[in-house]
Amino acid sequence: MKRLFFSLPDWLLTVVVSVAILYLTLVPRPLPDVDIPLFPGADKLVHALMFGGLAGAVALDWARWRGVSVLTPCRLAVIALIATLAGGMIELLQLVMAMGRGCELWDFVADGCGAVSGAWLAGYVAGWLFGPTGKN
């Protein structure tokens, strides 16, 4: 697993996650209609997972690019803020594009919660990946 991670091109995780998020949030009907019953608020969980994934990808790509095993709380906060702002920009794009997608405050809140959680988790994963035995 570690060997595969280190063989990836720089910033590939961030690019892949970003493209997936843009597709899922800015295309009018990104997925086919299926009749799977979901719990109320399931879309908020999806937002949190997407932006947690984005923050995690940015954090891990940054740590690998810089060759560090410890991501400081300040660095993680900046990464979480950037991912949260990306979520806010997407919500605004949904509003101005008028494509049938809604701009919702609670989606933005879920984006932020996911970004903070993803950045925090990535701090631990970076220590595991890049720690004393990570890159050797």
Q: What percent of the chain has pLDDT over 90?
A: 60
Report the pLDDT value the prediction gives residue 56, as an integer from 0 to 100: 97
In terms of pTM, does the model score above 0.75? yes
Q: 């906060």: which residue's tokens? A: 77
Q: What is the pLDDT of residues 83-126, one digit of tens each?
A: 999 999 999 998 888 777 778 899 999 999 999 999 999 999 99
| Nearest partner of 46 among 99, 110, 130, judged by Cα | 110
Q: What is the 3-state secondary structure (H, E, C) of the chain?
A: CHHHHHHCCCCHHHHHHHHHHHHHHHCCCCCCCCCCCCCCCHHHHHHHHHHHHHHHHHHHHHHHHHCCCCCCHHHHHHHHHHHHHHHHHHHHHHHHHCCCCCCCHHHHHHHHHHHHHHHHHHHHHHHHHHCCCCCC
The Cα 27–Cα 99 span in angstroms is: 8
Q: How many CB atoms lie within 10 A of CB 123?
A: 20
